[in-house]
Structure 1
Amino acid sequence: MNHLIVYAHPHEGSFNHAILDTAAAALKDKGHEVHVRDLYKLGFNPVLSPADTAAMREGNTPADIAAEQEYLRNADVITFVYPIWWTGLPAILKGYVDRTFSYGFAYQYNAEGGIDKLFTGKKAVIVNTHGTPGKVYEAIGMHNSLKQTSGGGIFEFCGVEVLEHFLFGGVGSGAGDEERSRMLAQVKEKFSSL
């Protein structure tokens, strides 16, 4: 199975990087083909420019977008690994979605006024960390909101079935080594079972 991991955290020693390493290793151990797109290492430009949209309307997708779309096109499973910042995606990942999940590639409107979901058949896993304790986000409904915006508003909108959405809270503000080990064990178990 072809598995794409889109990773968005600027620090090599972060807990998100440990999640990335755990997921990739579990997939490789099961014989999956794994492609990691580390957006910060790539220096991915997150700004959808007027030149980008004009070029895509003319059928001339800019090279950096086309390269990422090739990874998306070939993926059976797409995983996003990123921290929650200000209750949302880091700007670099939001820009990745803006630029690569484009009209005519990930979705389009049809003659009946409905949406053609062009990624139908693909699967997804989302792994998030956040500093706010999980109980707080759960109590105020933030976990459901995050699942709705990322899972529903991005992936399901394009036809991708979300298999799992991990929301690991208290990272950096209270999760000790034992708790982090438990989180990584959940990641390993999920990716080993795909």
Structure 2
Amino acid sequence: MNHLIVYAHPHPESLNQAILERTVSALKNNGHKVTVRDLYELHFQPVLQREDTAAMKRGQIPEDILTEQEFINEADVITFIYPIWWTGLPAILKGYVDRVFAYGYAYASNEDGIIKLLRGKKGLIINTHGTPKEEYDEMGMTAGLKITSDMGIFDFTGIQPVDHLLFGSIGYLHKDKYNAILQKVEKTIHYHFS
């Protein structure tokens, strides 16, 4: 299978980077082809500009958007790896979704409703956050994050969500807990994509 990983964390020494590396390694060990789009490394321009929408209406997709859409076209599975900041996506990833998952490419609509244009693909999301997971679970934030990302981005465009891992208390855990997180990531990859 062809896997596209969209990665959004600015620090190469982060747990997210370790999660990315473990994900790539597990997928490659299972014989999958993996492409990583590191949005910070790419200096991806996240702001949807007036010129972008005008060009798309004319059928002239801006080059940087078209490049990312071509990676999505080739992918059987799309994985997002990112930290939760202010209960949502980092701005660079939100901008990626705004610009790349564009109307007419990822979805469309008619009198019957939404047309999901990315059907046939699977999606996985891996998140970290500083708040303890139990607090997020109790206040409904975990469920809310799954709804807005799994359903609001992936399912809305036809991508079938297969899993969503959320790891809390990041920055406050003992080393063995971080190792357990990486093991959980690897087990999840093997479970879904062996």
Same fold (TM over 0.5): yes
Distance 1:85 1:176 in 2: 22
TM-score (norm 1): 0.97
Aligned mate of 2:179, from 174, 178, 181: 181
Q: Provide the residue aligned with 2:128 in structure 1.
A: 129
TM-score (norm 2): 0.97
- Unaligned segments of structure 1, at least 5 residues: none
Distance 1:115 1:134 in 2: 33
- Unaligned segments of structure 2, at least 5 residues: none
Query: Deviations 1:149-168 (Å, cap 9, x if unpaired)?
Result: 01110000001111010000
Aligned partner of residue 40 in structure 2, secondary structure: helix
Aligned partner of residue 180 in structure 1, secondary structure: helix
Q: Provide the residue aligned with 1:114 in structure 2.
A: 113
C-alpha RMSD of matched pairs (Å): 0.7
Distance 1:13 1:192 in 2: 25
Aligned partner of residue 102 in structure 1, secondary structure: coil
Q: Are 2:22 and 1:4 aligned?
A: no
Distance 1:88 1:175 in 2: 22
Query: Deviations 1:120-172 (Å, cap 9, x if unpaired)?
Result: 11000000000001111111000000000011100000011110100000011
Aligned partner of residue 137 in structure 1, secondary structure: helix
Aligned partner of residue 40 in structure 1, secondary structure: coil
Distance 1:134 1:176 in 2: 15
Q: Provide the residue aligned with 2:149 in structure 1.
A: 150
Query: Deviations 1:43-94 (Å, cap 9, x if unpaired)?
Result: 0000000000000000000000000000011110000000000000000000
Q: Provide the residue aligned with 1:192 in structure 2.
A: 190
1:189 offset after TM fit, Å?
1.0
1:175 offset after TM fit, Å?
1.6
Give the ranges of 4+ consecutive aligned residues of structure 1 lying more than 6 Å apart after TM superposition. Answer: none
Distance 2:141 2:168 in 1: 11
Query: Deviations 1:102-135 (Å, cap 9, x if unpaired)?
Result: 011100002x331110011100000000000111
Distance 2:10 2:21 in 1: 15
Q: Which amino acid aligns with 1:26?
A: A
Q: Which amino acid aligns with 1:114?
A: G
Q: Which amino acid aligns with 2:83?
A: P
Q: Provide the residue aligned with 2:19 in structure 1.
A: 19
Q: Which amino acid aligns with 1:33?
A: K
